Chain A
C-alpha cells in the first residue's frame, strides 16, 4: 500500500511476481490486439516514427510511474505533439474499444499512470509549449506536458508565479497535476491545483475536444472542470490548461524551528493557526526524517531536534512582520529551542531542501520504504502521531514522519529491508494501519498523491457503495465505454448501461466474471 521505493528487487520479494491488482485494473497482454494494431496505424499516419513505440524493450521503459513496484508493460506507447494527434488517437481507441492511460512525467505516487497491458499509453512529454503568459489577466495557458516549475519560471519576469508546488515540481507536469489535483507545501494558504486551474481543453474518451472553463471564472453550466481536475485521468485528457498566476509576495520569511518533541511542534502549529495566522506553509519532520535529510543533503537542521517545523510567511511586508512576531512567540511558548530565520535566498533554499528531499533522503537510512499519504483533522495530530509511534514500536517497523502540519496531511515513511523475509509484509501492514487511523479520525486516505491503482481497495473504507456508485455516474457520462484509465480510483467499475456506438458483445468485465451489471 502506497508509494514504495527502493532497489529493483523490492517489487519481487515483497509483493511477488504478479501485479497486486486483479487484471481488471491492468488488463491482459494480448487482449485487444486487433484494436491496438488499428490505433497504431492511425498514430503512425499522424506522427513521426519516434512518436509511436511498439518495440517490447522500449515499451518496458514506460512500465511504471513513480510507484515503481506496480509494473505493467503497455501494448503501445504514443507520444503526440498536438491536440489533433492526441484526439485522433483517442478517437481510434474509442472506436476499437481499446483502453488508454495518459501519462505526463510519470512522477505520480499512486500508480495513476500505470499502463494497461491491453491498452495504449499516451505520453504528453512532447506537448511542452507555454502558449501564453497573460499578465494583465493573471493567467497562463499551457500544454499538459509543461513542467510545473517552468510555469513559474515563465511568469516570474512578470512578477507572478504558479502557486501549487508539489515536491516534484522540477519534473512533474501540469497535465499530471491537473489529473491528480496536486497539492504541495504551500496549499495551506493558496489551495490545490483545483483552485488554480480556470479552464482546460479536454479530449473526451470519445475523442471529442471540448472547452471547460476559460479565462474568466464561473462559466455557465455544471462545473465539469471542477470534477475533471483530480479525476485521475478517468474522464479524459487535458490538452491545455488555463491556470491562475499569483502575484509574487512583497516579502517571504522562511523559518526553521527546532523542538524537542513532535508534540511540542504540533502544539506550536495549533497555537499559530488558532491565533488566526495563516502561513503559506507549516511543515513538520520528526527525528528520523531529520536524520535522513541530514544524511542526504546536509541541510544542517538543529542538533538534537526531536522535530522541526519549516514555517513560511508571505504577503505584504507589514503583515508578515506582525505574523512573524506571533509565530516566534508561539514557538517559544511551546518549547522551541532554536529558531532560524533565512536571511537570503540561499538559506531559504537550504531549509526547503531538507524538507523537499525528505522522501528520497529516507533511502539513505533504509534500503526500502513506503511513502504513505493520509489526512487527519489537524487537532488529531498529537493523538495520531502517538498511535503511529505505538504501531511502530509494537511491530518493530520504523516510521519517519514528514508532513504538512498546517493541514493535517501526513506522509509517514514506513522503512523496511526487502531482503529480510517478511519485512515488506510487515511494512505494508503498518502502512495500512496508518490509513485506518486516518479514517477512524475522520480524515482521508489520500491528501494529494491520489487513489490510483494503489488505494482503490481502500475506497470502500471511506465511502459507501452508494457514494462510489454516485461518483461513477459522472464517469458514465464522460466515459460510458470505460476506456479512460480504467481500473483506477474505483475498486469496482460501474457499468454504464448502453454504450453509444461500438460495443456489441457483453462488457468484458461481465464476461470475465469480474463485475455484475447494475
Chain B
C-alpha cells in the first residue's frame, strides 16, 4: 500500500460493501501486513469490492477462516483482505440428487452436518479443522480418503466466481454430468486465490458408508512399506484409504481404511489382514494421527507435500530420510501411499541452508518418479530461503492464464508458482 491513500481506499470500498474495517496485525497474510478488511455478504458485494479495489489499484487477498493462509508463498502485498466468512450459508442440499450448493465462506463442517442429515457426505477430508469451502478449494486440500473418491476436482460440479475486474461468472451447474463449456472449477482448484474469488460452489455428495474399519501393520523399511501398499492396491479389497506413516524415530505404519456395508467390511477386513500379514490389526476407530498433517503437530516445523508414482514410494521415502539424516534434521512423513501423495515435517529450528538441501535432494527423487515436491507451509525465513514451489512444467501457459484473468496482478500476487 505504498502508492494508494488509505482514506480514499477506505471510502471507495465502503460504497462497495458495508463492512470495511482497518486491518489489525492479526489480519496479516503470512507475515505481510494488510491495510483493510472487507467482509462482503454476497457475490454482488464481492464484485463491488473487487471493482472498487481495481479502481483504487489495491491488491486483494481472499480469506475464509485463515486456517491455511500461510500455505504457499507470502503475497507481495495485501492491501485488502477479502474475508468471505459472512458468506457462510449452505444454500441447498438436494438430497435426492446427492448435491449440495454452498457459499464459499461456509465451514466445511457445516456442509458435512447438512449432508449427514440425509446420510450423505462431501467425500473430502479436512486436514486442518475449521476451514471453509473456499479455503479448501483454493489450496486443494485433501486427505486419506482420496484413494477411493479423489479430490475436490472430482467432486466440484459448479462454481460461481468473481474476476479481478469485478465481473461475476459461473461454470458447470447443478448436475453431476455436464460437458457444456470449459470446466473453470478445475482451473480455480488449487489456485491459491490468484485467479478469481470463488463465492459459491456446488458439489456432488456420496452416501455415508454404514461401516468402516481400520487395518494397521507396522513396517521397518521403505521397501517394506512399498510392498505392503502394493499388495493392498493390487488386491480387490477396494480400500478407501491406504496411508503410510513414518515417524521421526524411523518406526512406520501402513494403515488401510475399508468402508462399506457391515458384512462387506468384515470380509474385506479379513482379506486385508491376510494381505498385510502377521502383525496386522483391525480397529473401529482411526489410529492416532490419521490424516493429520505432520507439521501441524510441531510448531515451527516446515511442511512439505511430496508426490510420486506409486512405484516411487520406497525411493522417495529413502531419499527424504537420507537427506534429512545427512542434514541432522528430524523428519516425519505421513500421507497417502495409495495415491502417491505424502506430507512431511522437517523439524523446527533447522538451519535454513541444511533444510534447503533436504528439499533439493528429495525433490530430485520425487521428480524422477513422476511427481513433485512443494514446501507448503513453514516459517517465513524458510520460505524465503528455499524454492517453495520448485520447477513447474507449462509455467509459461500458466502465466498467460493469469495474465488473462488478472492482468494487473491484483489477486494474491506472488503467492503461487513462478511468482504468479
Residues of A within 8 A of B (CB): 134-139, 159, 180-181, 183, 187, 191-192, 194-195, 204, 210-212, 214-227, 229-231, 247-250, 270, 273-274, 276-278, 315-319, 321-323, 375-379, 404, 407-409, 442-451, 455, 459, 462-464, 466-471, 473-478, 489, 496
Contacts and interface: CB of A to CB of B under 8 A. Distances in A.
Contacts of B393: 210-212, 219, 221
Shortest Cβ-Cβ A-B pairs, 10 listed: A226-B186, A215-B370, A276-B207, A216-B371, A470-B169, A319-B264, A318-B267, A215-B309, A250-B236, A216-B307
A36 B142 CA distance: 48
B348 interface: no
Contacts of B389: 220-221
Interface stretch (B54-62, B90-98, B126-134): B90-98
B403 to A, nearest CB: 7
Interface stretch (B76-84, B170-178, B324-332): B170-178
B341 A216 contact: yes
Contact of A136 (B209, B310, B371, B398): B310
Contacts of B381: none
Given A467-B171, A470-B167, A322 B311 contact: no
A210 B397 contact: yes
B322 interface: no
A475 B207 CA distance: 37
B62 to A, nearest CB: 16
A278 B210 CA distance: 13
Given A216-B307, A224-B401, A471 B182 contact: yes
A319 B260 contact: yes
B151 interface: yes
B206 interface: yes
B14 interface: no
B174 A442 contact: yes
28 contacts: A136-B230, A181-B183, A192-B177, A194-B183, A211-B394, A216-B309, A218-B151, A219-B392, A220-B390, A221-B394, A221-B416, A224-B398, A229-B183, A247-B238, A270-B96, A273-B98, A278-B207, A318-B266, A319-B260, A319-B261, A377-B96, A407-B176, A451-B181, A455-B180, A469-B167, A469-B169, A476-B404, A478-B397
A220 B194 CA distance: 14
B417 interface: yes
Contacts of B268: 316, 318-319
A223 B372 CA distance: 14
Contacts of A221: 389, 392-395, 398, 416-418
A247 B403 CA distance: 41
A223 B234 contact: no
B169 A408 contact: no
A474 B186 contact: no
Contact of A214 (B209, B234, B371, B395): B371
Given A224-B397, A319-B260, A247 B182 contact: no
B9 to A, nearest CB: 26
Given A322-B261, A442-B174, A459-B180, 16 more contacts: A136-B230, A183-B177, A194-B186, A210-B396, A216-B309, A218-B307, A220-B374, A220-B417, A222-B195, A222-B402, A226-B183, A278-B206, A377-B94, A407-B175, A459-B181, A471-B169
Contacts of B95: 274
A470 B184 contact: yes
A463 B184 CA distance: 13
Contacts of B163: 470
B175 A376 contact: yes
Interface in B263-306: 263-264, 266-268, 271, 305
Contacts, number: 281
B70 to A, nearest CB: 17
Contact of B401 (A194, A222, A231, A449): A222
Contacts of B142: 218
B168 interface: yes
A227 B234 CA distance: 30
Contacts of B191: 222
A416 to B, nearest CB: 25
A220 B189 CA distance: 11
A220 B176 contact: no
Interface string B230-247: 100111111000000000
Contacts of B339: 217
A132 B395 CA distance: 27
Contacts of A442: 173-175
Interface string B305-323: 1011111100000000000
Given A218-B305, A444-B175, A204 B397 contact: yes
A250 B234 CA distance: 11
Contact of A227 (B168, B182, B271, B416): B182
Interface residues of B, number: 93
B379 interface: no
Contact of B404 (A224, A464, A473): A473
Interface of B: 94-99, 119, 140, 142, 146, 150-151, 153-154, 161, 163, 167-171, 173-184, 186-187, 189-191, 195, 206-210, 230, 233-238, 260-261, 263-264, 266-268, 271, 305, 307-312, 339-341, 366, 369-372, 374, 389-390, 392-398, 400-405, 416-418
A500 to B, nearest CB: 9
Contacts of A218: 140, 142, 151, 190, 305, 307, 341, 372
Nearest to B178: A444
A36 B130 CA distance: 58
B233 A215 contact: no
B151 A474 contact: no
Chain B CB within 10 A, most for which of A137, A183, A462: A137
Contacts of B96: 270, 273-274, 377-379
Nearest to B403: A477
A363 B163 CA distance: 48
B184 to A, nearest CB: 6
Contacts of B186: 194, 223, 225-227
Contact of B264 (A249, A318, A444): A318
Contact of B371 (A215, A408, A448): A215
Given A218-B341, A318-B267, A451 B180 contact: yes
A463 B181 contact: yes
A65 B369 CA distance: 39
B309 A134 contact: yes
Given A215-B370, A220-B372, A322-B261, A180 B310 contact: no
A379 B309 CA distance: 40
A508 to B, nearest CB: 21
Contacts of B146: 217
Given A215-B370, A319-B264, A379-B94, A477 B397 contact: yes
B404 A474 contact: yes
Contact of B170 (A183, A463, A478): A463
Contacts of A230: 179, 182-183
A183 B233 CA distance: 25
Contact of A451 (B179, B311, B395): B179
B317 to A, nearest CB: 14
Contacts of A467: 169-171, 181
Nearest to A227: B187
Contacts of B394: 210-212, 221, 224
Nearest to B258: A316
A375 B204 CA distance: 15
Contacts of B183: 181, 194, 226-227, 229-230
Nearest to B230: A136
Contacts of B264: 316, 318-319, 321-322
Contacts of B405: 473
A194 B263 CA distance: 33
A159 B234 CA distance: 8
A219 B372 contact: yes
Nearest to B270: A318
Given A216-B308, A227-B183, A404 B177 contact: yes
B400 A446 contact: no
| Residue of B181, B207, B266 with most partner-chain A CB within 10 A | B181
